[in-house]
Amino acid sequence: MINTVEEIVKKAYEAIDDKKGEDIAVLNVGNISSMADYFVITSASSERQVQAIAHNVEDELEKEGLYVKGKEGHNTSRWILLDYGDVMVHIFHSEEREFYNLERLWKDAPYVDIDNLN
């Protein structure tokens, strides 16, 4: 059972990694944003893979009793956003990730090493 926000981040990260998400980044945005504590960002080389990653994140978190509060982008599968309240998962097609460059937009947010996340 998941009890902390950090455990949600780890579970989402693992679900992304299971489906070969590329360049997974975790940003701690809690000190600079009121919308979430963490962004988990990844990319994929095809729309099918973007969808597969999103479905796996949802499935794995549902097994823990966590349900997505909102989701956007399933129609185009170029950028899917899964909102879990304190954790937002961004799954980009590689081209969209480069274009929107959330890491640059949130440059003041520190990167989190998933292995050291408590």
118: confidence class by pLDDT, cuts 50, 70, 90: confident
Which CATH code is given to the segment(s) 5-104? 3.30.460.10
Chain centre distance of CA 112:
13
Q: What percent of the chain has pLDDT over 90?
A: 84
Q: Spell out the alpha helix ranges (H) of 1-118.
A: 5-18, 47-63, 94-100, 102-105
pLDDT digits (tens, 9 = 90+) for 36-73: 999 999 999 999 999 999 999 999 999 999 999 999 99
In whole angstroms, what is the distance from residue 22 CA to residue 61 CA?
A: 20
Match 């081209």 to its residue by tokens.
95
Both tokens of 115, joined, read 């292995």
Helix (H) or strand (E) holding 72: strand 70-72
Q: Which residue would you say has higher pLDDT here, 76 or 27? A: 27
Burial (CB < 10 A; 0-12, 13-18, 19+), residue 63, is exposed
